[in-house]
């Protein structure tokens, strides 16, 4: 079941309309509808708020690691085919090649798993600006990874 289906199911089980859930979350009914249909995805902070409303763990709605992995892999090649150790090495190399500011944003979002809203607040930036910057950083990472030599599962350089 995808995150939208889980939200819809929990909402119905608790007898809430989309409008009632939207009011509790201080968002529009249209946004709740888009989450449920998969046209948009709530940020993790919103998932945590819904978990409180529905009295479930946020991981019941969507595991935090999966949420971040899905966001990261939206612009990256199939990460499941890259050995974990090799990927970690490449990420570290990538972070040394981008600006300190971009590296901090990337680490805060994808290593520390901070919500975009929190990053925006502490950095004095708008959430859309943070999302835009993260999108550009992910594109840079994709380009960087495509240029790296491939390795097989044994850590040997491939051709």
Is pTM, for the whole model, over 0.75?
no
Does domain 67-147 match CATH 1.10.10? Answer: yes
Low-confidence residues of the chain: pLDDT under 50: 152-159
> pLDDT tens for residues 120-136?
999 999 999 999 999 99
* Under 8 Å between Cβ of 138 and 75: yes
CATH number of 3-62: 1.10.260.40
Calculate the CA dihedral of residues 124, 22, 40, 53 and round it to 10 degrees. 90
Helix orientation angle between 100-110 and 64-73, rounded to the nearest 10 degrees: 140
Q: Residue 157 carries which DSSP code? A: B
Which structure tokens are listed for 130? 């943070």
């Amino acid at each position: 079941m995808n995150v939208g289906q889980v939200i819809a199911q929990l909402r119905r089980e608790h007898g809430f309309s989309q409008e009632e859930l939207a009011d509790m979350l201080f968002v529009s009914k249209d946004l709740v509808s888009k989450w449920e249909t998969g046209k948009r995805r709530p940020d993790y902070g919103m998932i945590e708020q819904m978990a409180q409303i529905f009295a479930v763990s946020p991981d019941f709605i969507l595991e935090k690691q999966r949420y971040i992995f899905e966001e990261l892999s939206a612009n990256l090649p199939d990460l499941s085919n890259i050995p974990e150790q090799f990927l970690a090495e490449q990420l570290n190399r990538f972070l040394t090649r981008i600006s300190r500011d971009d590296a901090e944003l990337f680490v805060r979002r994808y290593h520390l798993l901070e919500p975009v809203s929190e990053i925006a607040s502490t950095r004095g930036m708008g959430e859309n600006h943070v999302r835009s910057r993260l999108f550009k950083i992910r594109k840079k990472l994709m380009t960087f990874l495509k240029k790296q030599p491939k390795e097989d599962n044994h850590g040997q350089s491939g051709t």
